[in-house]
């Protein structure tokens, strides 16, 4: 996504993205497909085509990206159903669920405050300051 943000209106092929990420083009296309379904990315077919951001990098938050790509729950509780014959087992999921939701939404609140444009400019600024930059301060805090 950062690459797409930096390349603006120039389509980027999945082959090229795969090179940057260090993986296979089909994997990139798979992920791109998920992003497209959530309206974050669109693609141009044919020769010279590739992926483009569907909106400006300023209108995309990391929370949206996360939700598009990550399917399962952030905090997974019980993989197996607890025994309903035990007082605790019968109730624990109902008790834990609102807690899980609070924790999860706290994290999303943070991710919503980071826009893709912040990430791309931070990458460029790091590239400007070679070798010594330890902590890139994304101003949002």
- Chain residues in the site for DNA (CB under 7 A): 12-15, 22-27, 29-30, 32-33, 36, 43-51, 71-72, 79-80
Separation between Cα atoms, residue 65 and residue 112, nearest integer Å: 10
Q: How far is the CB of 130 from DNA (least distance, A)?
A: 27
Strands (E), 1-141: 41-44, 50-53
C-alpha 11/C-alpha 20 separation (Å) is 15
Least distance in angstroms from the C-beta of 113 to a copy of itself: 9
CA 37 centroid distance within chain: 14
* Binding site residues, a copy of itself, CB under 8 A: 2-3, 6, 19-23, 62, 66, 74-75, 78, 80-83, 85-92, 94-96, 98-99, 102-104, 106-107, 109-111, 114, 119, 122-124, 126-127, 133-141
């Amino acid at each position: 996504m950062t690459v797409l943000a930096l390349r603006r209106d120039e389509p980027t092929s999945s082959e090229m993205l795969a090179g940057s990420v260090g993986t296979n083009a089909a994997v990139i296309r798979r992920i791109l497909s998920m992003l497209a379904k959530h309206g974050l990315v669109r693609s141009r077919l044919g020769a010279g085509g590739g992926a483009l951001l569907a909106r400006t990098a300023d209108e995309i938050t990391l929370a949206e990206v996360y939700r598009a790509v990550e399917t399962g729950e952030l905090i997974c509780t019980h993989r197996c159903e607890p025994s309903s014959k035990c007082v605790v087992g019968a109730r624990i999921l109902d008790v834990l669920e609102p807690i899980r939701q609070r924790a999860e939404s706290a994290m999303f609140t943070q991710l919503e405050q980071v826009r893709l444009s912040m990430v791309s400019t931070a990458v460029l600024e790091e590239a400007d300051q070679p070798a010594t930059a330890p902590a890139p301060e994304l101003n949002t805090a």
